[in-house]
Amino acid sequence: MKSIGELERIRREAMTGIGPRVARTRVTFVVHMGTDGLAAGARDVMMAILDELRRQGLTDCLVTQTDVTGLHAKPPVVDLLIPGHASLTYTRVTPEDARRIVVRHLVAARAAVGQ
Amino acid sequence: MNSFYRAHVLVCAGAGCVSSGCKAVEQALWAEVSQQGLDEEVKVIQTGCVGSCDQGPVVVVYPEGTFYRKVRPEDVPEIVEEHLLKGRPVERLLYKDESSELVVSLEDIGFFKRQRKIVLRNCGVINPEDITEYIARDGYEALGRVLTEMAPEDVIDIVKRSGLRGRGGAGFPTGVKWGFTAKATGSPKYVVCNADEGDPGAFMDRSVLEGDPHSVIEAMAIAGYAVGSNQGYIYVRAEYPLAIERLSIAIKQAREYGLLGKNIFSTGFDFDLEIRMGAGAFVCGEETALIASIEGRRGMPHPKPPFPANEGLWGKPTLINNVETYANIPPIILNGPEWFAGIGTEKSKGTKVFALAGKINNTGLVEVPMGTTLREIIYEVGGGIPGGRKFKAAQTGGPSGGCIPAEHLDVPMEYDSLVKLGAMMGSGGLIVMDDHTCMVDMARFFLQFTQDESCGKCTPCREGTKVMLDILTRITEGKGQEGDIELLEDLGKTIKNTALCGLGQTAPNPVLSTIRYFRNEYEAHIRERRCPAGVCQALFKYEIVQDKCRRCGLCQKACPAGAIEESVEELDLIGEEPAMAGAAEAGAGVRAGVATAVATRSKRKPLVINQDKCLKCGVCMRECRFQAIARV
C-alpha cells in the first residue's frame, strides 16, 4: 500500500462486490417474476438490465424481483423505484427496452433524476 | 474483477453456526445456484456471526435482507427456486416474532432493531476471508489517515477524548493506557491483543476475530504508530481454531497489500503482527500472566507495579488491549472522538457487546449503547424469558462478576452503576436466570470454575477459594451450619483484599453478591435444609402421590435408574374416603381427580420410588400426566 489514493482505488473497485448488502441505491429495478412474467420472458429482461448496468459501470443500483403482478399489467413488467420519487411501471418490456430504460434513467438523464 | 450481482446470499459461518451445520448449507447453495444457472447474478458468501446464535444456520438474502433461520441443506432448493428465481420469500423459514407475525427483513426483527453496531459493524456483512470487502467498508482508511496526517500524540489525544474504556472488563481509560506506553522509556516496544477470552458464556471476541479480523489488525497498527511500536502479538486461546485460521488469512492478506510490513503508506512506518496461542488457562487473560505465557514461561501473574506499560513483554514497554477495545478504534478515528463520546452515558462511552445466555429467548450476541437498561436488553432485545417464567437475576461479568436481582432490572448497563450493585461489566457475559435457578448452586458453579483455574501462586486465592468452595458444597449438600454465611463473607472480603491478581481479587464476587441479594436462599439451605428453587439434589426427593397415581407405569418406563418399583404391600390411600369411593362405584359424572384415579386405576400394585436408586433427574415428574409425582 503506497498511498491513500491507492487504497481509495481498491475501495471503489471493491464497492461493486458488496453493493447489494449496503444500501446506497439510486434506482431499484423490480422485475415481476410471477409465472406470467417468467413465461413472457422476464428473465431475459432482468439479465439485460444486469448486463447493461455492468456495461455502464453502475454499482449503486439494485435489481430485485417480485412475484406480484398488478391485475391489468401486461408482462413482462418492470418497476423503477427512485428514492424520493413516485415509482414508475413499464409493461411489455423487451430486453432491448430494458437496456434503453437503464440508459435513459441512469446515463442520459443523470442530472434529470434529481429534478 | 468483481462483477455486479443482483443478489447476495450470506451464510453465517461463525463457530456457532458452523457447529449447527452451516458448511453443508453453503455447499448446497453453491450447487443449487449453479444448477439453476444463476451464477452470473447471485453470489454466495460466507460471513461472520450475525449474532442470533440460537437461530443458526442463518442465511440472509440481500438486497432485501431476508432473514432465513435454521436452514437445512434440504431447504436450499426451495430457497433458490422460489426466492432467487421467482422472488417469493420462503415463508416457513422466516423468523416469527413474539406475536407470531412473519418478519421478512432482518431490520424489522426486534433482536436487531434495538442494536447499534460499531464493534460488530462488519460481522455478518462481509466475508472475513476477503480483505477487499473490509476495504470496501472503509477498512484501513483510519490507518492511512493516522499515518499520513497525524502525529502519534494526536492519535492518543483522539482516543482519550473519545472516552473509550477497556472492554476486557476493568474499564481502564484506553487513551490513558496508550499515553503511558508512549511515554515509557525502553526499546523496542510491543503492542499486544488479549484474545484469551475465558469467561464462561462470553464469545464476543471470538466473533470479532472470526467475522472481522481486519478491524483488530488495523487498530493494532494504529496503536503501534501511537505508542512507537513496530511489532504486535495477538494472544488467542487455542480453543478458537476458526478465529486463528481467519486471523492468519487476514494477516497474510494485509501483508500482501502492504498494510502490514515495511513502509506502510510510504510513510516509513513498519509494523508486523504474529499470533501466539494460549494453552487454555483462564489466568492467562490477566495481562501479566499473558505476558509470561507469550515469553514461553508458565502463565502466572506477578504483582503490579511494574505495569506492562513500563515493563511488559521481555521487560520492554508493552500496550495490552482486548479485542473489542481495538475493534472500536478505526470508527473512532474515522468519525471523530465527539461522535463516539456522544453515544452512551457520561462515564461509559460507546456501545457494549453482550453475550446473552441462560434462560432467555434470543441467545446470542447483541451490541447496544452503554446505559441501555438491563430490562431493555432482556425483554426487548433478548425477547424475554422462555415459557413466560419469572426473571430472578442476571449474572454479569462471568465468574468475576455478580448478580443483578429483579429489583434492579432498570439499572443502566455501564461500568460504574454495575460496580455499585456489586456486579461488574466484565467482558460482557450476561447469564439470565429464572425462578428455577438456585443462587447458592450458581455461586458454587462459578467458584468451582475459578478454583480450578487458580494458578496457585498466591495463598489467598489457592487456599481461600478452596475453603469457600468446600463450605458452599457443604451447604448445597444440606450440611450447612449456622455461621457459614458470615464465614463466607469474611473469607470473600479477605481474598478480595489480598489476592495477587484479578482472578483471585474477583473470585469471591459471585458468592458475595448472591449473599447480598439472596441471603434468604442461603438461610433456607442451612436452617431448613431446603432448596427453594428445587435444584440442590440432596435437599429434596421425588415421591409418588398415591391418591393421584393411576399406576399406568409411564414413569417406570421413563426412569433411567429403574428406581420406580411396585410396592409389596397395598398402601393406605389417603384420598379414598367413602364418599369418593361411592361416587366411583356409581360411575356418575366422574371427573378427573382423586375419585377417577382410584376408580380407573389399573389392577397393578402401587408404585413407589426407591430413594436409594433415584438419581433425582426429574424425568418421572415430566412424564407423569396426572401430576402424581411431587418434589418434597
Q: What is the pLDDT of residues B554-607, one digit of tens each?
A: 999 999 999 999 887 665 554 444 444 444 444 444 444 455 555 556 567 889
3-class DSSP assignment, residue B272: strand
Q: For residues B325 and B583, which has the higher predicted lDDT (pLDDT)?
A: B325
Closest of B410, B454, B401 to residue B428, by C-alpha: B401
Average pLDDT of chain B to the nearest whole number? 90
Reply yes or no on whether the pLDDT at B232 is more than 50: yes
Residue B599: its pLDDT value, please? 53
Q: What number of H helices and E strands is found in chain B? A: 26, 20
Amino acid at B408: H
Residue A62: its pLDDT value, please? 83
The answer to whether B70 and B24 have CB atoms below 8 angstroms apart is no
Q: How large is the average pLDDT for residues B7-35?
A: 89
Nearest CB to B132: which of A14, A33, A34?
A14
pLDDT classification of A113: cutoffs 50, 70, 90: very low
How confident is the model over B289-312, as pLDDT tens digits? Answer: 999 999 999 999 999 999 999 999
Reply yes or no on whether the pLDDT at A23 is more than 80: no
Residue B296: its pLDDT value, please? 93
Which of B46, B85, B135 to substitute to test the interface with A, most A CBs within 10 Å? Answer: B135
Q: Which residue of A has its CA nearest to B261?
A: A1
Measure A64 CA to nearest chain B CA, in Å.
7
Reply yes or no on whether the pLDDT at B510 is more than 80: yes
Q: How far apart are CA A19 and CA B45, in angstroms?
A: 13
The answer to whether B394 and B430 have CB atoms below 8 angstroms apart is yes
Q: For residues B96 and B264, which has the higher predicted lDDT (pLDDT)?
A: B264
Residue B506: its pLDDT value, please? 94
Amino acid at B359: K
Reply yes or no on whether the pLDDT at A111 is more than 70: no
Q: How far apart are CA B11 and CA B50, in angstroms?
A: 9
Measure A1 CA to nearest chain B CA, in Å.
5
Residue B571: its pLDDT value, please? 54
Order of strands, sheet of B364-369, starting from the edge strand that comes earlier in the sequence: B364-369, B351-358, B429-434, B391-396, B402-405
Amino acid at A42: A
Q: How large is the average pLDDT for residues B416-441?
A: 93
Cβ within 8 Å, pair B132-A13: yes
B176, burial (CB in 10 Å: exposed 0-12, middle 13-18, buried 19+): middle
Cβ within 8 Å, pair B41-A46: yes
Cβ within 8 Å, pair B5-A66: no
Nearest CB to A21: which of B3, B62, B141?
B62
Reply yes or no on whether the pLDDT at B332 is more than 80: yes
Residue B65: its pLDDT value, please? 83
Q: For residues B575 and B438, which has the higher predicted lDDT (pLDDT)?
A: B438
Grid look-up 486461546 returns: B237
How confident is the model over B238-263, as pLDDT tens digits? Answer: 999 999 999 999 999 999 999 999 99
- Helix spans in B213-367 (H): 213-227, 241-256, 287-294, 323-335, 337-341
Q: DSSP letters along chain A, please?
A: ---HHHHHHHHHHHHHHHGGGS---SEEEEEE-SHHHHHTTHHHHHHHHHHHHHHHT--SEEEEEES---TTPPSS-EEEE-TTS--EEE-S--HHHHHHHHIIIIIITTTGGG-
The residues, ordered by sequence, that sit 6+ positions from B114 with a Cβ below 8 Å of its Cβ are B366, B368, B376, B380, B381
Nearest CB to B63: which of A7, A20, A34?
A20
3-class DSSP assignment, residue B11: strand
Q: How far apart are CA A93 and CA A103, in angstroms?
A: 14
Measure A101 CA to nearest chain B CA, in Å.
17
Residue B582: its pLDDT value, please? 45
Residue B573: its pLDDT value, please? 52
The residues, ordered by sequence, that sit 6+ positions from B290 with a Cβ below 8 Å of its Cβ are B192, B194, B196, B235, B278, B284, B299, B320
Nearest CB to B86: which of A17, A33, A58?
A33
Q: How large is the average pLDDT for residues B2-7?
A: 74
Residue A68: its pLDDT value, please? 67
Cβ within 8 Å, pair A3-B85: no
Q: How far apart are CA B8 and CA B42, in angstroms?
A: 6
Residue A65: its pLDDT value, please? 84
pLDDT classification of B21: cutoffs 50, 70, 90: confident
Residue B1: its pLDDT value, please? 38
Measure B519 CA to nearest chain A CA, in Å.
51
**B520 phi, psi to nearest 5 deg:** -60, -30
3-class DSSP assignment, residue B287: helix
Grid look-up 470454575 returns: B449
Which of B5, B6, B40, B267 to substitute to test the interface with A, most A CBs within 10 Å? Answer: B6
Reply yes or no on whether the pLDDT at B159 is more than 60: yes
How confident is the model over A40-94, as pLDDT tens digits? Answer: 888 899 999 988 888 887 777 888 888 765 555 688 889 888 877 888 889 899 9
Residue B118: its pLDDT value, please? 94
- Helix spans in B477-568 (H): 484-498, 502-506, 509-527, 554-558
pLDDT classification of B200: cutoffs 50, 70, 90: confident
Closest of B493, B348, B489, B500 to residue B428, by C-alpha: B348
Reply yes or no on whether the pLDDT at B339 is more than 70: yes
Q: Which residue of B has its CA nearest to A12?
A: B136
Reply yes or no on whether the pLDDT at B431 is more than 70: yes
Q: How far apart are CA A62 and CA A78, in angstroms?
A: 13
How confident is the model over B91-126, as pLDDT tens digits? Answer: 889 887 666 677 777 777 778 888 899 999 999 889
Nearest CB to A59: which of B4, B40, B145?
B4
Residue B100: its pLDDT value, please? 66
Angle at which helices B174-183 and B152-162 pack, to 10 degrees?
Answer: 150
Residue B98: its pLDDT value, please? 64
* β-strands B190-195, B318-322 pairing: parallel
